[in-house]
A and B are shown apart, each in its own frame.
Chain A
Amino acid sequence: GNWSRLAAQQALTQDKLLEFDTFGNVSLIHITDIHAQLKPIYFREPSINIGVGDNRGAVPHITGAEFRKLYGIADGSPSAYALTYDDFTALAQSYGRVGGLDRVATVINAIRADRPDALLLDGGDTWHGSYTCFHTQGQDMVNVMNALKPDAMTFHWEFTLGSDRVNEIVEGLPFAALGQNIFDAEWDEPAELFPPFQFFERGGVKIAVIGQAFPYMPIANPGWMFPEYSFGIRDENMQEMVDQVRAQGAELVVCLSHNGFDVDKQMAGKVTGIDVILSGHTHDALPEPVLVGDTIIVASGSNGKFVSRVDLDVRDGRMMGFRHKLIPIFSDVIAPDPEVAKVIDDQRAPHMDKLSEVIGRTGEDQLLYRRGNFNGTWDDLLCDALISEREADIALSPGVRWGPSILPGQDITREDIWNVTSMSYGAAYRTEMTGEFLHVVLEDVADNLFNPDPYYQQGGDMVRVGGLGYRIDVTKPQGSRITEMTLLKTGEAIDPARTYQVAGWASVNEGTEGPAIWDVVEAHIAKQGVISLDPNNSVQVVGA
């Protein structure tokens, strides 16, 4: 109720959230995977995040109570709400929304008040993920981010705007667009528009920031939208760049990465000489950096929910120590920066009628969330919409890690629907697949998630399914993880030779046809009125 809400927020103040004993001579500010969330939202962290191979049981593959125990977080505390999933609805009602780039601006300004020359670094997945971002082809995000004055960024979903649009924006960007692994696909040479690194002189320290864009761009997203570019991890080239910047006098080497956490860990073990990796893509929020050799890896969450501050003591060309804080952006506690708030409102003003239209409402016990290795309730709703609106037996929905949550009893607006569906290849296709091919699809995606070698992990979660049940043993090799596939509407085993009607969206294939997923979901929600989903027990996970 209101009383507990007030009590919770009184215990939490802006000063307390920003409290930091300024340390050393260099400050880094990291924000990543904003996915175009300009305004405060709710965002539930995952309940299931399985690590495989050497990463089994290691952060970030720890959730809930285990996570709280590891970091000494009290149940029901602000950190429990920000970093774990239990009691999410109740805690959300107490602590309120998170994020909002006007609040992020306040935090950045406060850090800059302490350390005026702090470096602000954006890990990418910035120009994607909302109604306004889609309709302005990323311009809303570019305008708001420019107001925050970043020093550099790297990339992933940005490329799904198409290479012409990306090139156009990057050419006018007032800060560095970095990617040592962004190559010209035709001649296999570094792409001129994306320098590998940029030097900064801060606190008397020569800092090199090396960019690492998402390595699997043409695999995880439609390569035909940016055929001129090639990516990959390219850790040999990364080593060359580190050696080069060191030879040019860099005293601190920072890698602004969109590899995903486990890939960053593996890269840190292979490439020597990186002091700090600012990690993005897998949306993990960690209250402490992870150390690999002499490299610290910082993970700063997603959707504008967190900002990381890393203070460093750099002397005699060496990082001697660090102090770090993952700052949760509690929207009701941190005052919005009026200047950035105005820029945000200006971007949204022309679209407000469309954005704010209420399409439906969640039932009294119905939380909608996505984050996690398997279906969240938002995914269940999307799959239900695909099956009913596209008259399919089975639905497939991509295992993306973005998309805010909706609390029970909350209105679902058009903006909310776009926040979980917006993309430049959102056609909701309907096609025939054999049972055998469905198995191949599930095995293929599972191997991109559960391969024990992180360099084979593309950092998406498992494809979400509707109308289909299966058992997955994450410890098995590709081809034998997925068994007991069942067509839920009849309870019968999936027949490899039979053909099924499958609806899905976000196909990476060129020329995919169908109505836009947001329209499909809107039509479904409008018909339902109040959303109340049956619990989904159709995936049995083994070996976690």
Chain B
Amino acid sequence: MGTGALLIAGVPLRVSSATEDAIAAFTGGADVGVGDISLIAPEIAENGNTVPIEVASETAAEILVLATGNPTPGVAIFKFGPLSASRAASTRIRLAGTQDVVAIAKLEDGSFVQASSTVKVTIGGCGG
């Protein structure tokens, strides 16, 4: 049981206009398909302030990560240089509540693909 933590629990939020704007800024308005991009995130966050995520692709030049339910959706943009051995990276992010995390990769051929994952952020408590 929590006593009064501020949270936005519940169903994933709809994609906000801020998220749409962030995607458009990254893609320049190009279509976003599915394909060579994966996003690994926990089903339930142990702690919404530090949620481990991993993005991976074979052919991405850059990967944008967005937390669609945060007050501002931006999380990071990974650019992979010539000495990167894989187009993959892990980090830890803040999530203001249960929501979809989205990764969009700009592939070497200039196309864009996306993956998403729902992460539940719970008040917790009441263990057995």
Q: Which residues of A contact B (CB under 8 A)?
A: 125, 156-157, 188, 214, 216-221, 223, 230-232, 260, 281-283, 396, 398-402, 429, 431-433, 437, 440-441, 443-445, 447-448, 453, 455-456, 458-461, 463, 477-479, 504-509, 512
Contacts and interface: CB of A to CB of B under 8 A. Distances in A.
16 contacts: A188-B90, A216-B46, A219-B44, A219-B124, A232-B42, A281-B128, A401-B128, A444-B122, A445-B123, A448-B122, A458-B124, A460-B125, A460-B126, A504-B1, A505-B1, A506-B125
Contact of A431 (B4, B52, B122, B125): B4
A492 B128 CA distance: 32
Nearest to A283: B128
Contacts of A458: 44, 122, 124, 126-128
**Interface of chain A: mostly helix, strand, loop or mixed:** loop
A445 B125 contact: yes
A205 to B, nearest CB: 33
Nearest to A462: B126
Nearest to A464: B126
B42 A506 contact: no
Nearest to A234: B42
Contacts, number: 123
B1 A478 contact: no
A445 B126 contact: yes
A231 B46 contact: yes
A432 B4 CA distance: 8
B128 A223 contact: no
Contacts of B11: 477-479
Contact of A456 (B1, B43, B124, B126): B43
Contacts of A441: 1-2, 123
Nearest to B11: A479
Contacts of B90: 188
Nearest to B127: A220
Contacts of A479: 10-11
B120 A220 contact: no
B3 interface: yes
Interface residues of B, number: 25
A111 B17 CA distance: 66
A461 to B, nearest CB: 7
A219 B125 CA distance: 6
Given A230-B46, A455-B43, A448 B5 contact: no
Contact of B128 (A440, A444, A461, A478): A461
B3 A157 contact: no
Given A283-B128, A458-B126, A505-B1, 6 more contacts: A156-B127, A220-B124, A458-B122, A504-B3, A506-B126, A509-B4
B34 to A, nearest CB: 22
A440 B9 contact: yes
Given A441-B123, A456-B120, A400 B3 contact: no
Contacts of A282: 128
B47 interface: yes
B7 interface: yes
Contacts of B124: 216, 218-220, 448, 458, 508
Contacts of B43: 453, 455-456
Given A220-B125, A444-B9, A398 B52 contact: no
A518 B11 CA distance: 37
Interface string B1-34: 1111101011100000000000000000000000
Q: Which 3 A-B pairs have the closest CB atoms?
A: A220-B127, A460-B126, A219-B124
Contact of A509 (B3, B44, B47): B3
Contacts of B126: 220, 398-400, 445, 448, 458, 460-461, 463, 506
Contacts of A281: 128
- Which of A444, A447, A459: most chain B CB closer than 10 A? A444
Contact of B9 (A231, A429, A443): A443
A188 B120 CA distance: 20
A507 B1 contact: yes
A325 B3 CA distance: 43
Contacts of B4: 431-433, 437, 509
Nearest to B8: A440
Nearest to A453: B43
Given A157-B127, A507-B2, A508-B2, A219 B122 contact: yes
A221 B5 CA distance: 15
A373 to B, nearest CB: 11
A299 to B, nearest CB: 13
A460 B46 CA distance: 16
A477 B9 CA distance: 13
A441 B10 CA distance: 11
B46 A218 contact: yes
Nearest to B52: A188
Contacts of A214: 127
Contacts of A433: 4
B3 A429 contact: yes
Contacts of A401: 128
Contacts of B5: 509
B13 to A, nearest CB: 12
A49 to B, nearest CB: 12
B2 to A, nearest CB: 6
Nearest to A504: B1
Contacts of B45: 219
Contact of B1 (A218, A260, A398): A398
B125 A507 contact: yes
Contact of A396 (B1, B42, B120): B1
Contact of A444 (B3, B52, B123, B127): B123
Contacts of B47: 218-219, 223
A453 B11 CA distance: 15
